[in-house]
Amino acid sequence: MGIKDYLMQCNEYLSNFWGINNEKNEIGFRMDPSTSTMQGEKSASPTRNNSTLSPNEKQNCSNAMPTYFSFMPTLGDFKGFPLEIFEFMLGYLSVKDISMMSMVSKIIRDRIINYISTPSGNRKFFPQDFHNQDQSDSAKSSILQHYSSLGLLFKRCTLLLPTKERLKYIYKRFLEIPCFQFYGCADPLHCLGLQCYGVFLQTVTAGWDEDECERVFNFLCDVTSLPQRIQRVVSSKPGRFRKLELRIRTFCRGVLLKHWILQSDSVFWLTCILKPWPSVIQARLLYLMFGPASTEDGNVDWRNMIQGPTDENNLKELADAVKLLYDTEKDEWLANDIVSLVDELAVIPQEWHLENSARFLILCGNNICFPFMASKAVDGRAIELARLVVFLALVCEKDLYCMGWSVKMMQKVCNVFSSTTEKNVFLQSIENAFAQMIMDALQLVISGEHDEEETSFLNLFHLVNAQANFHKEILYLTMNYEE
């Protein structure tokens, strides 16, 4: 029979096959519409079934992909085809269809697993077009989508293996992809590789419980030496190992942090990275992963927060990460932990410009800003807090936030001081700080040290307006009405 005849028959058989497949699904499995994975997959989890296996059974499976039982014992209508034709047909099917097919029977699944390792399977399943900068957004999302579908295929093909074996199998396949390796890509800044790895991982681990996901994290740590690399970076001054910092940042963001849909997943993976370390290192890692980076070479910009006021965009991701940890309902991140994390962050690598600290607190929101300031009030640090209040007002003025918010925050913090004397010192210090900062700004303008963008004049302008609006809100409050 010629190849054309074979292909015509293939078409026919495939139509029959899908009929059978759908029927099976109705009888045998219920498809979960949200994840397109089989419900009941977890109950078939090999970790739970392991104990029922005899050592011999395990041994028999050592060379091929072990399978402990099959859904259907045969190849069905495919048995008339030589292997080559079967694989030839797979070449014409989408990854999604092949992953559906892998659930039909043990033999079909084994054949698909074999096909994955063949050169044509390799070309089909592992496209490596990660560096095409001219790619449109839709082309980029289509390669991400491809790796997400591939995740589903691998999830289904390794369904009955213990988690560690599944990971080893996946890792072995990925070893051949340089852009999936920690140091493998020559241009990590313009590479989609790690992101594809991330969406793949997201699909594979969807629905897994935390113990299993922790195994995944530990496995990735083992094969990438991530903790040792982090240790090396945090034992030295920020910026000492720029390239390694960049690799840690791109790996953690691309593979472990970026693609989660549920907030609880994001928290879980971020916690995995941070929890082994003390809060001072956690803060350093947060900055490393979410802090501002150079647009030219991607290196972490450690000087950004200390040189002068910085843009809101440079702080946003950092604030979002802290908020994420605070918002979690887990006991692992108590309010106190977050306060000390924010405290540590504001001195990385040296004390931040106070305007940046104020901007960061505003981005973090009330739930973090107030406990942070209250903890300082409890320690009696009135003068330091007063300066921070003035900067809160300045940022509200510059970034167009509601000035009433900073006045209310000042009121709440004032109430934390226990004695009237402390409250008075706090309020007096706010007025002094306003006066002092305006005088300093004026001095700078008078000295004539203008830069091209007139920053010193603009700063004075904003400060005077901030003071006026801040006091306007206080006047409204004392007159008992709102704007």
The contact set with Zn ion (CB under 5 A) reads 130, 179, 185, 191, 193
Select 118 or 128, whichever has its Cβ closest to Zn ion. Answer: 128
Select 193 or 198, whichever has its Cβ closest to Zn ion. Answer: 193
In this structure, are residues 430 and 470 in contact, taking their beta carbons and an 8 Å threshold?
Answer: no
Select 150 or 191, whichever has its Cβ closest to Zn ion. Answer: 191
Select 130 or 268, whichever has its Cβ closest to Zn ion. Answer: 130
Select 185 or 201, whichever has its Cβ closest to Zn ion. Answer: 185
Closest CB 98 distance from Zn ion, rounded Å = 26
Select 161 or 179, whichever has its Cβ closest to Zn ion. Answer: 179
Select 134 or 452, whichever has its Cβ closest to Zn ion. Answer: 134
Closest CB 387 distance from Zn ion, rounded Å = 46
How far from 33 is each of 37, 39, 261, 334, CA to CA, in Å? 8, 10, 16, 36
Closest CB 299 distance from Zn ion, rounded Å = 17
Closest CB 180 distance from Zn ion, rounded Å = 9
Closest CB 233 distance from Zn ion, rounded Å = 21
Closest CB 133 distance from Zn ion, rounded Å = 11
Closest CB 145 distance from Zn ion, rounded Å = 18
Closest CB 129 distance from Zn ion, rounded Å = 10
Select 180 or 326, whichever has its Cβ closest to Zn ion. Answer: 180
Closest CB 131 distance from Zn ion, rounded Å = 6
Select 185 or 283, whichever has its Cβ closest to Zn ion. Answer: 185
Closest CB 184 distance from Zn ion, rounded Å = 7
Residues 211 and 337: their CA atoms lie apart, in Å, by: 23
- 3-state SS string for the chain: CCHHHHHHHHHHHHHHHHHHHHHHHHHHCCECCCCCCECCCCCCCHHHHHHHCCHHHHHHCCCCCCCCCCCCCCCHHHHHCCHHHHHHHHCCCCHHHHHHHCCCCHHHHHHHHHHHHCHHHHHHHCCCCCCCCCCCHHHHHHHHHHHHHHHHHHHHHCCCCCHHHHHHHHHHHHCCCHHHCCCCCCCHHHCCHHHHHHHHHHHHHCCCCHHHHHHHHHHHHHHHCHHHHHHHHHCCCCCCCHHHHHHHHHHHHHHHHCCCCCHHHHHHHHHHHHCCCCHHHHHHHHHHHHCCECCCCCCECCCHHHHCCCCCHHHHHHHHHHHHHHHCCCCCCCHHHHHHHHHHHCCCCCCCCHHHHHHHHHHHCHHHHHHHHHHHHHCCCHHHHHHHHHHHHHHHHHCCCCHHHHHHHHHHHHHHCCCHHHHHHHHHHHHHHHHHHHHHHHHHHHCCCCCCCCHHHHHHHHHHHHHHHHHHHHHHHHCCCCC
Select 130 or 370, whichever has its Cβ closest to Zn ion. Answer: 130
